[in-house]
Amino acid sequence: MASAPQQPQLPLFFNDLMPLNSRDHKNYRSRMIDSAPWLSKAHAIPLTVDEFVQAQRNFPIVFSSGENPLPLALMGLNEGVNTFVDESGKVTEQVYLPAYIRRYPFMLAKLQKDATELSLMFDPTSEALGEFADGERLFDDEGNTTDATKRVLEFCEHFEQAAQRTQAFLAEIKEAGLLMDGEVAIQRQDTDKPFVYRGFQMVDQEKLREVSAEKLEAWNKNGLLMLIHAHIYSLELMRVIFARQMQQGSAPQPTSQANLPN
């Protein structure tokens, strides 16, 4: 069984991508798993603007560096550190899980670069899918998609729509010149030297104050201003996440510096 042509770099968490079809996967089932080892070492999770208000209660929200930034929810401040997931991949407390996590092992993607439609793909290495005796069937005896598959497809479609809204949000704040290189210095109690985090972007609050009243009013009406404020407020959690790392024994050395996103 041949897998779909792979991109030079697969999306975060995915080891492979294969189109779901009733011929090859007629007997496949989807089952719940109680751990996610692939999440235990992930510290920066892609986020959509639809999730900012919920996510900012638990995580700092930053933007990746470069010309095409993406919003990221920080579950840890250092690469390989997730303060909400233990080594076995179990989430250790009640916390908002970004849709990017909940979507796995599925996603919508083009089978060919020139394709006009997106197809439902999955990671065949996932332990959540296979020819199991238990779980929800993905296709019925006639090869039709079941309600379980329809729910997955609907969730992935909503995710893609949210991703488009996210791109529109980013285009707006980039055009306004609001993004700046971020830097956060966090002081440890046991040393005089702070730990400095760089390699991400954040909203420049000075430039935000220079935005015209007319534009601010428009942003307030369309909800964009609320998203900006959610991002700004969430940055206070950088120190909370750092404290979690200290408590869990995963805090860095005080003389180190780190780039947040991969």
pLDDT in tens, the chain (262 residues): 233 444 458 999 999 999 999 999 999 999 998 889 999 999 999 999 999 999 999 999 999 999 999 999 999 999 999 999 998 899 999 999 999 999 999 999 988 888 789 999 999 999 999 999 999 999 999 999 999 999 999 999 999 999 999 999 999 999 999 999 999 999 877 777 888 999 999 999 999 999 999 999 999 999 999 999 999 999 999 999 999 999 998 877 655 555 666 5
41 CB contacts (<8 Å, ≥6 apart)? 80, 81, 82
List the end-to-end C-alpha distance of the chain, in Å, as a whole number. 32
Q: What is the pLDDT of residue 39?
A: 95
Q: What is the pLDDT of residue 200?
A: 97
Taking phi over 0 as left and psi of -120 to 50 as alpha, with beta for the rest, 223 belongs to left
Q: What is the pLDDT of residue 31?
A: 94
The tokens describing 247, both together, are 């408590």
Element (H, E) at 228: helix 224-234
Report the DSSP pairing between strands 71-74 and 61-64.
antiparallel
Q: What is the pLDDT of residue 7?
A: 47
The tokens describing 103, both together, are 């979507």
Q: Could you give the CA distance from residue 236 to residue 203 in angstroms, rounded to a whole number?
A: 13
Q: What is the pLDDT of residue 131?
A: 96
